[in-house]
Structure 1
Amino acid sequence: MPEVLLRDRRILVDGRPELLLAGEVHYFRLGRADWADRLNRLRDCGGDTVATYVPWLWHELPDGSVDLTGRTHEQRDLAGFLDLAHQRGLRAVVRPGPFVMAELKNEGIPYRVYDEHPHLLPTTWDGAPISTRTIDYLAPEFLAAADGWYAQVMPLIAERLAPRGGPVVAVQLDNEIGMLSWVTNSPDLTDGLCADLARWAVERYGKDTAAARIGADPADPAAWSTALRTPAEERSLALHDDLGRYMRDRYRRYVAALRQSAERHGVTGVPFLVNVHGTADRRGRTFPIGISQLVEAYRGQPQLTSGSDYYLGDLTVGNVADLYVSNAFLAATHDRAQPLTCLEFEAGSGDYGEDLSTRYPPEAIDLKTRLCVAQGNRLLNLYLFAGGHNPPMAEPVGDGNNRIAFTGERHGFAAPVGPEGRLNATYGAARRALHAVRGVGDLLADGDEEHDGFALGFIRDHYLTEYHHPASTKRAAQVAELERFRGMGARDVLARALLLAGYSFPAADLQAPGGAAHVPGGTPPVLVLATANTLGSDVQQRLVDHLRAGGRLLLHGPLPTQDHDGTPCTLLADALGLRPDGWLEGGPHYFPSVVGHDWAAGPAEVRVGYAQLLAGPGERLLTEVGSGRPCGTEVTVGAGQAVVIATDYPCHLDFWRAVLDRLGVRPRLRHDSGDPGLLLTSTVDRSGQRLLHLVNVAPSAIEFGLWHRDKAVLSGRRLRIGARTGLMLPAGIRVGPATLVESSCELVARNGSNVLLRPTQTEDVAVFTTDRPVRADRGEVTMADGRTTLTVQAPDGEPVRVSVD
Structure 2
Amino acid sequence: MIEIRDKQILINGEPQIIMCGEIHYFRLQQKDWQDRIDKLKAAGCNAVASYVPWLCHEPVEGAIDLTGKTKPELDLGGFIDLCKENGLYFFVRPGPFIMAEMKNEGLPYWIYEKHPHIVPISWDGKEVPTKTVDYLSPGFLQEARRWFAAVMAVIEPRLITKGGNIIGVQLDNEIGMLSWVSNSPDLTDNVITDFFGWLQTRYPAQTLQSRYPIDWDNQEAREKELRSPREEYATALLCDLGYYMRNRFARYVAKLRSWAEESGVRDIPFVVNIHGSSAGRGLLFPIGISQLFEAYTQAPGYLSGSDLYFGDLTMGNFQDLYLINAFMDAVHLPDQPLTSVEFNCGDGNFDCSHGARYDPSAVDLKMRMCIAQGNRLLNYYLFAGGYNYRLHEKPHNGNDRIAFTGERHGFAAPISPEGELNYTYPRMAHSIQTMMAVSDKLAIMEEEHDEIAFAFIPDYFMTEYSYPGSDKMKEMVQNLEANRADGAWEMMARAILLAGYRFGAIDIQNRPINPETTRVLILPSARYMPVRIQQKLITYLQAGGRILLYGEVPLYDMEGNPCLLLADALGVKPRGYKYSSDRYYLSLCADGWAAPRPEVRTHFAQRLEVGKGAEVLFRLYDGGEVCGFDAAVGNGRAVVIAAQYNCDISLFQTILEKLGAVPTLTHDCPDHGIFMTSTAAPGVGRFLHILNLDGFDKRLHLYENGRALLGGQNLLLQSRSGVMLPLHLTFGDVMIVYSTAEIAAVEKDSIRFHLTQEEDVMVIETTRQVAASKDYTFCKNGSRYIVTSHKHAKIDDDINVRFYD
Of 268, 273, 276 in structure 1, the residue corresponding to residue 274 of structure 2 is 276
**SS of residue matched to 2:64:** coil
Select between 352-361 and 785-794 the one with higher mean Cα deviation.
785-794
> What is the Cα deviation at residue 542 of structure 1?
1.3
**Amino acid across the alignment from 2:232:** E
CA distance in 2, matches of 1:458, 1:202: 29
**Amino acid across the alignment from 2:143:** A
Q: Does 2:575 align with 1:581?
A: yes
Q: Are the equivalent residues in 2 in contact too, given 1:484–1:491 (CA < 8 A)? A: no
Q: Are the equivalent residues in 1 in contact too, given 2:330–2:504 (CA < 8 A)? A: yes
The equivalent of 1:792 in structure 2 is 789
The equivalent of 2:521 in structure 1 is 527
Counterparts of 1:693-732 in structure 2, within 5 Å, are 693-732=689-728
Cα shift readout 1:567-599 (whole Å, capped 9, x = no counterpart): 211111111111212322112111222222343
CA distance in 1, matches of 2:434, 2:328: 25
**Amino acid across the alignment from 2:144:** A
Select between 25-34 and 761-770 the one with higher mean Cα deviation.
761-770
Q: Does 2:384 align with 1:386?
A: yes
Q: Are the equivalent residues in 2 in contact too, given 1:737–1:804 (CA < 8 A)? A: no
Counterparts of 1:585-600 in structure 2, within 5 Å, are 585-600=579-594
Instruction: Mark the CA change 1:422 to 1:770 in structure 2 (over 3 Å): closer, same or farther.
Output: closer
**Amino acid across the alignment from 1:790:** V
**Amino acid across the alignment from 1:789:** I
**Amino acid across the alignment from 2:306:** S
Q: Are the equivalent residues in 2 in contact too, given 1:214–1:227 (CA < 8 A)? A: no
Counterparts of 1:674-753 in structure 2, within 5 Å, are 674-753=670-749
CA distance in 2, matches of 1:325, 1:539: 20
Q: Are the equivalent residues in 1 in contact too, given 2:519–2:661 (CA < 8 A)? A: no
> What is the Cα deviation at residue 609 of structure 1?
2.0
CA distance in 2, matches of 1:207, 1:594: 51
Q: Are the equivalent residues in 2 in contact too, given 1:528–1:555 (CA < 8 A)? A: yes
Counterparts of 1:119-138 in structure 2, within 5 Å, are 119-138=117-136
CA distance in 2, matches of 1:120, 1:332: 35
Q: Does 2:538 align with 1:544?
A: yes
Aligned pair count reads 799
Q: Are the equivalent residues in 2 in contact too, given 1:776–1:801 (CA < 8 A)? A: no
Select between 648-657 and 735-744 the one with higher mean Cα deviation.
735-744
Q: Are the equivalent residues in 1 in contact too, given 2:752–2:799 (CA < 8 A)? A: yes
**SS of residue matched to 2:760:** strand
CA distance in 1, matches of 2:759, 2:486: 39
Instruction: Mark the CA change 1:402 to 1:768 in structure 2 (over 3 Å): closer, same or farther.
Output: same
Q: Does 2:563 align with 1:569?
A: yes
Q: Are the equivalent residues in 2 in contact too, given 1:700–1:722 (CA < 8 A)? A: yes
Q: Are the equivalent residues in 2 in contact too, given 1:387–1:413 (CA < 8 A)? A: yes
Cα shift readout 1:728-780 (whole Å, capped 9, x = no counterpart): 00001113323211110101112345211121110111112334433353212
> What is the Cα deviation at residue 792 of structure 1?
1.3
TM-score (norm. length: structure 1)? 0.97
**SS of residue matched to 2:158:** coil
CA distance in 2, matches of 1:451, 1:217: 54
> What is the Cα deviation at residue 666 of structure 1?
1.1
Cα shift readout 1:329-381 (whole Å, capped 9, x = no counterpart): 01111011111000000011111111122111121111101111001000000
**SS of residue matched to 1:65:** coil
Instruction: Mark the CA change 1:673 to 1:598 in structure 2 (over 3 Å): closer, same or farther.
Output: farther
> What is the Cα deviation at residue 394 of structure 1?
2.9
Select between 761-770 and 151-160 the one with higher mean Cα deviation.
761-770
Counterparts of 1:546-561 in structure 2, within 5 Å, are 546-561=540-555
CA distance in 2, matches of 1:466, 1:735: 49
Instruction: Mark the CA change 1:214 to 1:800 in structure 2 (over 3 Å): closer, same or farther.
Output: same
**SS of residue matched to 1:781:** strand
**Where does the alignment leave 5 or more consecutive residues of structure 2 unmatched?**
none
Select between 685-694 and 208-217 the one with higher mean Cα deviation.
208-217
> What is the Cα deviation at residue 245 of structure 1?
0.9
CA distance in 1, matches of 2:61, 2:781: 79
Of 374, 377, 380 in structure 1, the residue corresponding to residue 375 of structure 2 is 377
Q: Does 2:187 align with 1:189?
A: yes
CA distance in 2, matches of 1:290, 1:95: 19
CA distance in 1, matches of 2:218, 2:30: 57
The equivalent of 1:758 in structure 2 is 754
> What is the Cα deviation at residue 303 of structure 1?
1.4
Of 243, 257, 280 in structure 2, the residue corresponding to residue 259 of structure 1 is 257
**Amino acid across the alignment from 1:707:** Y
CA distance in 2, matches of 1:533, 1:389: 50
Of 431, 440, 444 in structure 2, the residue corresponding to residue 442 of structure 1 is 440
The equivalent of 1:296 in structure 2 is 294
> What is the Cα deviation at residue 518 of structure 1?
10
The equivalent of 2:139 in structure 1 is 141
CA distance in 2, matches of 1:564, 1:265: 43
> What is the Cα deviation at residue 490 of structure 1?
4.4
**Amino acid across the alignment from 2:50:** T
CA distance in 2, matches of 1:296, 1:63: 33
**SS of residue matched to 2:382:** strand
Cα shift readout 1:313-334 (whole Å, capped 9, x = no counterpart): 1111001111110111011110
CA distance in 2, matches of 1:171, 1:91: 12
> What is the Cα deviation at residue 89 of structure 1?
1.0
CA distance in 1, matches of 2:437, 2:592: 49
Counterparts of 1:198-277 in structure 2, within 5 Å, are 198-277=196-275
Counterparts of 1:614-625 in structure 2, within 5 Å, are 614-617=608-611, 618-625=614-621
CA distance in 2, matches of 1:184, 1:592: 35
The equivalent of 1:627 in structure 2 is 623
Cα shift readout 1:98-135 (whole Å, capped 9, x = no counterpart): 00000111111111111111011111000111111211
**Amino acid across the alignment from 1:641:** R
The equivalent of 1:455 in structure 2 is 453
CA distance in 2, matches of 1:232, 1:208: 19
**Amino acid across the alignment from 1:761:** Q
**SS of residue matched to 1:763:** coil
CA distance in 2, matches of 1:581, 1:787: 66
CA distance in 1, matches of 2:489, 2:365: 23
**What RMSD in Å do the two structures reach over aligned CA positions?**
1.5
Of 619, 634, 641 in structure 2, the residue corresponding to residue 638 of structure 1 is 634
**Amino acid across the alignment from 1:711:** R
Cα shift readout 1:66-86 (whole Å, capped 9, x = no counterpart): 111111110110011001111
CA distance in 2, matches of 1:491, 1:371: 17
**Amino acid across the alignment from 2:522:** V
**Where does the alignment leave 5 or more consecutive residues of structure 1 unmatched?**
none
**Amino acid across the alignment from 1:587:** S
CA distance in 2, matches of 1:660, 1:531: 17
- Aligned residues: percent identity? 46
Q: Does 2:784 align with 1:779?
A: no
CA distance in 1, matches of 2:783, 2:630: 50
**Amino acid across the alignment from 1:791:** T
Q: Are the equivalent residues in 2 in contact too, given 1:736–1:754 (CA < 8 A)? A: no
CA distance in 1, matches of 2:517, 2:288: 24
**SS of residue matched to 2:249:** helix
Q: Are the equivalent residues in 2 in contact too, given 1:580–1:615 (CA < 8 A)? A: yes
> What is the Cα deviation at residue 236 of structure 1?
1.2
CA distance in 2, matches of 1:63, 1:612: 60
CA distance in 1, matches of 2:538, 2:91: 44
TM-score (norm. length: structure 2)? 0.97
The equivalent of 2:655 in structure 1 is 659
**SS of residue matched to 2:581:** coil
**SS of residue matched to 2:424:** helix
CA distance in 2, matches of 1:15, 1:735: 19
